C-alpha cells in the first residue's frame, strides 16, 4: 500500500499561513484533525506582527445585546464577513475574509474557515478545517473533517464522524485498513472534490482531488482523484454502486 500525505489532497492556502506550523504537508491528512484546536488557541494568544488577535468588539457590533450569548470565546472574524444574528459561533473559531455565514448556521468549537467560503442555512460545523472558496450549501453536517479549497457540499450532504460502536476509525485503502487513532473522524476532501445532494460519507472517508460523489450516494473508503462514484438506480430491481473515471 502506498503512503499518502496531506499534500496529495490539498495545499494550505496562503490566507491560512498563520496556522501552517500545525499542518505539515508531509503527514497523513487525518493527523491535521487533532491539531485544529491547538492551532486556534496558539493563534488567539499570539502577538506576532500581522496576526490580529481580538475581534470580539468587531463581532459585538453585529449582534444585539441579548444575542451576545451566540458568540463564544477566542472568535476571530476577518473583514467583509457576512454574519447574520441568527447564527451561533462557539469557542475557538476563525473565519476568513469574504466568507458568508447564512441564517441558522451553527459553528461549534474548533473551526477554521478560509476566505470566500459559504456556510449555508442550518449547517453544523464542528472541529473542522475548511480552506478557501469552499461551498457548504445548506442542511449539511461537517464534523472532524478537512475540506480542501474549492470543494463543494450540495444540500443535505453529511460527513458522518463516529462509528456506531464508537471504536477507533480506520481508513480503507487498497484492500487494507489503516488505523487512524481517532475515535471521531469524518472525511478528507481534496481540492475541488464535490458531494451531491443528500449523500453521506462514512467515517474515515478520503476523496482525492477533483473527485465526485453523486446525488443520494452512501460512500466510504478511498476515492482516487479524478474519479466519481454514483448509484445507478433500479437496474434489475436493485440499486448498484459503480465507480466511473
Residue 229's pLDDT band (boundaries 50, 70, 90)? very high
Contact between 160 and 201 (Cβ < 8 Å): yes
Is residue 65 very low, low, confident or very high in pLDDT (cuts 50, 70, 90)?
low
Residue-level pLDDT at 236? 41
Using the predicted structure, report yes or no on whether residue 44 has a pLDDT greater than 90: no
195 with 215: CB under 8 angstroms? Answer: no
Average per-residue pLDDT in the chain? 86
Please, are residues 147 and 198 in contact by the beta-carbon 8 Å criterion?
no
| Per-residue model confidence as pLDDT tens digits over 200-209 | 999 999 999 9
What is the end-to-end Cα distance of the chain in Å, rounded?
21
Domain boundaries, the chain: 6-244
What are the residues whose beta carbons fall under 8 Å from the beta carbon of 138, sequence distance 6 or more?
102, 120, 121, 122, 123, 155, 156
Does an H or E element contain 234, and which? strand 228-235
pLDDT at 50 over 70: no
1-5, 152-156, 162-166 — which is least confidently predicted? 1-5
Give me the mean pLDDT over the 32-36 stretch: 96
- DSSP H helices, the chain, are 36-44, 56-60
The set of cell numbers assigned to 220 is 466510504
Q: For position 153, what pLDDT does the model report?
A: 98
What pLDDT, in 10s, does the model give residues 76-124? 888 888 888 788 999 899 999 999 999 999 999 999 999 999 999 999 9
Q: Span 154-181, mean pLDDT? A: 89
Residue 48 pLDDT class (50, 70, 90 cuts): very low
For residue 237, is pLDDT > 60? no
Residue 245 has pLDDT above 80, yes or no: no
Q: Which CATH number fits domain 6-244: 1.10.10.10, 2.160.10.10, 3.90.870.10, 3.30.499.10?
A: 2.160.10.10
Rg (CA), the chain: 18
Amino acid at each position: 500500500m502506498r503512503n499518502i500525505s496531506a499534500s496529495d489532497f490539498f495545499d494550505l492556502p496562503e490566507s491560512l499561513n498563520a496556522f501552517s506550523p500545525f499542518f505539515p504537508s508531509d503527514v497523513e491528512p487525518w493527523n491535521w484533525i487533532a491539531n485544529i484546536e491547538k492551532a486556534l488557541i496558539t493563534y488567539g494568544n499570539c502577538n506576532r506582527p500581522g496576526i490580529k488577535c481580538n475581534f470580539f468588539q468587531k463581532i459585538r457590533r453585529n449582534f444585539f445585546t441579548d444575542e451576545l450569548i451566540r458568540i463564544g470565546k477566542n472568535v476571530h472574524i476577518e473583514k467583509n464577513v457576512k454574519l447574520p444574528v441568527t447564527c451561533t459561533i462557539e469557542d475557538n473559531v476563525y473565519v476568513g475574509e469574504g466568507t458568508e455565514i447564512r441564517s441558522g448556521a451553527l459553528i461549534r468549537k474548533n473551526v477554521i474557515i478560509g476566505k470566500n467560503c459559504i456556510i449555508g442555512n442550518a449547517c453544523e460545523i464542528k472541529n473542522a478545517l475548511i480552506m478557501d472558496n469552499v461551498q457548504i450549501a445548506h442542511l449539511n453536517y461537517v464534523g472532524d473533517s478537512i475540506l480542501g479549497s474549492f470543494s463543494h457540499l450540495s444540500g443535505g450532504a453529511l460527513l458522518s464522524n463516529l462509528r456506531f460502536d464508537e471504536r477507533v476509525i480506520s481508513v480503507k485503502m487498497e484492500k487494507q485498513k489503516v488505523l487512524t487513532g481517532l475515535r471521531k473522524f469524518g472525511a478528507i476532501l481534496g481540492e475541488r472534490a464535490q458531494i451531491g445532494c443528500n449523500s453521506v460519507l462514512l467515517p474515515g472517508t478520503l476523496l482525492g482531488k477533483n473527485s465526485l460523489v453523486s446525488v443520494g450516494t452512501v460512500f466510504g473508503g478511498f476515492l482516487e482523484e479524478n474519479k466519481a462514484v454514483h448509484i445507478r438506480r433500479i437496474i434489475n430491481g436493485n440499486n448498484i454502486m459503480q465507480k466511473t473515471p
